[in-house]
Chain A
Amino acid sequence: MTGTMEPEAQALFGALPAADEQAGARLHARLAAAAAREGLLDVAYRTVDTPLGTLLLAATEEGLIRVAYPNQGHDAALAQLAELVSPRILNAPGRLDGVARQLEEYFAHQRRVFDVPLDLRLSKGFRRSVLAHLQQIPYGVTESYAQVATAAGSPRAVRAVGTACATNPVPIVVPCHRVVRSDGSSGGYAGGPDAKQTLLMLEVA
């Protein structure tokens, strides 16, 4: 419909840069600040490098809403937030600086408890009560899926506890990695079995 751009027009606008990275970065930061100020930044995100790979962190004005492992797909996690929370999403690190720092401290053995506001709206019903219980399992301690089911009020819902852990929107910060099989093997994990093993080893080291 638009046809190809005439060579002459290209010559005309050749002096006007097609991409100006400096201006782009400056304007992006300005947009993120203005959007936050006007209450339009429904979801802010950033990435953070950890021993378990690059994690995606996302927060609403209420608190941390998502931690995504590389294998879960950062784009998929953002698309899900756009659909379930709001498409007003920007890469705006400021809101996540506290969480990022605490994760860094955690991986450096300098922190055992996360102290950040959480937005757990992605998890509902029984899954939500499982997450509430997980937050009470102390650093370096593990519980079995059956124990968690009992603590969450449904002793027979062992499989549902597994699902609640697998769909935990904020792994590490809400420590679903501390839930293991009754036989002592570590069981599945959102970030993959190796990531779970690494976290469990980290906490007993």
Chain B
Amino acid sequence: MSLRPFEQIVADFGPMVLRVCRAVLGPDEAEDAWSETFLAAMKAYPALDEGANVEAWLVTIAHRKAIDATRAAARRPVAVESLPERPARAGRPGDWDGDLWAALAALPPRQRAVVAYHYLAALPYAEIAVITGGSTDAARRAAADGIKTLRATYLARTREGAGR
């Protein structure tokens, strides 16, 4: 048994990594982060253990790329903030880059990351703790706090919207 062609890795895990990048970084940065993640993964791939957990490996790389992207965004000139807010790209109410991203973006970055890694990448909290640092319990609490906030903000709002 040897490593599968990298094409298979992209096919099997590309959609999951895109969801994670979108949830963690939002619509503007997600595709750049996905591209950098898979390029870095492809570079390192021949040295990967055949028995490695590929999801956790990819999320680890994506996590580092997300940190880089967040730092780069923080260094950008302040003037950008004065631009008018861009409307949701797809223009459909309830689309993820509107309401959902607004709610995710309001979470502390660590909660946002933990929620995405657990609920979108299906990683157990022990794995997530290795990726983000801190204890397994801290990761579980961060996810619970994040979900609690999203329940109050995003879910309440979408239910309201649907009821109208």
Contacts and interface: CB of A to CB of B under 8 A. Distances in A.
Task: Judge: A and B partners, yes or no.
Answer: yes
A27 interface: yes
A16 B35 contact: no
B45 A8 contact: no
Contacts of B151: 8, 12
A85 to B, nearest CB: 10
Contact of B15 (A9, A19, A31, A78): A19
B124 interface: yes
Contacts of A11: 155
A88 B47 CA distance: 11
Question: Which size class do A's interface residues fall under?
Answer: 35 or more
A115 interface: no
Nearest to B123: A2
Contact of A24 (B5, B18, B22): B18
Given A15-B95, A20-B15, A82-B2, A88 B31 contact: no
A12 B155 contact: yes
A78 B42 CA distance: 16
Interface majority SS (helix, strand, loop, mixed), chain B: helix
A40 interface: yes
B109 to A, nearest CB: 18
Given A9-B147, A35-B42, A18 B15 contact: yes
A12 B96 CA distance: 10
B94 A31 contact: no
Interface string A4-45: 010011011101111110011011101100110010100101
Contact of A89 (B5, B43, B119, B150): B5
Contacts of B35: 27, 30-31, 34
A91 interface: yes
Given A15-B99, A16-B19, A16-B23, A9 B119 contact: yes
Interface of A: 1-2, 5, 8-9, 11-13, 15-20, 23-24, 26-28, 30-31, 34-35, 38, 40, 43, 45, 78-79, 81-83, 86-91
What 5 A-B pairs come out closest when comparing CB atoms?
Answer: A89-B5, A87-B3, A15-B96, A16-B96, A83-B2
